[in-house]
Amino acid sequence: MESILTNRPALKQVLDAAAEVAGYLWEKGWAERNGGNLTINITEHVDEQMRAMPAISEVLPIGVTLPHLKGCYFYCKGAGKRMRDLARDPMCAGSIVRILDDCASYEIIADSPIVPTSELPSHLALQNYAIGCGCGYKATLHTHPIELVAMSHSKEWLDSEHLTQVLWSMIPETLGFAPLGIGVVPYALPSSTDLVAPTLSLIEKYDVVLWEKHGTVAIAPHIMEAFDQTDVLNKAATIYMTARNFGFLPEGMTPEAVQEIRKAFNLPDHR
């Protein structure tokens, strides 16, 4: 069977980047078994032929109604699929779905009827937010970065402002590439809709959201940027942990030094 990616170089390029990121997630140990998820809005690459493609699944409910998604198309990782397999072939570990006119259901159009993960409602809610705010964000990434998740096991680090300030103070680039910081959502059952509202309220303010004792969620124009923001923040967490392992509390850059970087590089203000 011919893949939907055949003769669609722009679409293939988007999914090649998803595959590259999936490989990094596996290499970093952030994607055990089928852990993590990614969703990419590919509507801009959809041609007439794709619009005319028949569904290869039943009509499936999203679980929520998302008004901005009418007629949109997404690449979604499949339920139970592994990132390390997605790294080799995105269409073997995920599928392309079309959102139907009721904005509450979807159908799969290619390449095979791989049903998206149970995290689809939260990922699509983020995509709905991205379209609504006009920010041009196309990619959502959920992964399990070890050091950030470990920090979320201590009450001290559940305070978003405190966690953000300490991570920024570890290395100048953290502020440069994650100028809005990281927000923490209290623990809720994975895949539950209880995570959706708090995640949405924090993603407006922060670059990355940390789900307590679980993992991160990032949204960005491209999947590589969603990965980079997560990686930059987790690097700061790793430096903090390494200093603690050396037996001391890291001093951290002073608040004045952090503010100096914000000014010098004209970074957006923390909201």
What is the residue-wise DSSP string for 232-246?
HHHHHHHHHHHHHHT
Looking at the Cβ atoms of 124 and 253, the one nearer to Zn ion is 124
- Which of 153, 123, 97, 154 has its CA nearest to residue 217? 123
Looking at the Cβ atoms of 70 and 213, the one nearer to Zn ion is 213
CB of 122 to Zn ion, least distance (A): 10
Looking at the Cβ atoms of 144 and 235, the one nearer to Zn ion is 144
Cα–Cα distance for residue pair 135/149, rounded to 1 Å: 28
CB of 201 to Zn ion, least distance (A): 20
Candidates 6-14, 41-49, 211-219, 228-236: pick the segment binding Zn ion (CB under 5 A): 211-219
Phi then psi for residue 9, to 5 deg, are -60, -35
CB of 119 to Zn ion, least distance (A): 7
User: Is 102 in contact with 82 (CB distance < 8 Å)?
Assistant: no
Cα–Cα distance for residue pair 61/80, rounded to 1 Å: 18
Residue from 106, 215, 230, 236 binding Zn ion (CB under 5 A) = 215
Residues in CB range of 224: below 8 A, 6 or more apart: 17, 20, 21
Q: How many residues sit close enough to Zn ion to count as binding (CB under 5 A)?
A: 1
- Per rule CB under 5 A, is residue 179 in the interface with Zn ion? no
Q: Which residues 149-168 are close enough to bind Zn ion by CB under 5 A?
A: none
Examine the residue annotation and report whether 119 is marked as an active-site residue of this protein: yes
Which residues are identified as catalytic? 119
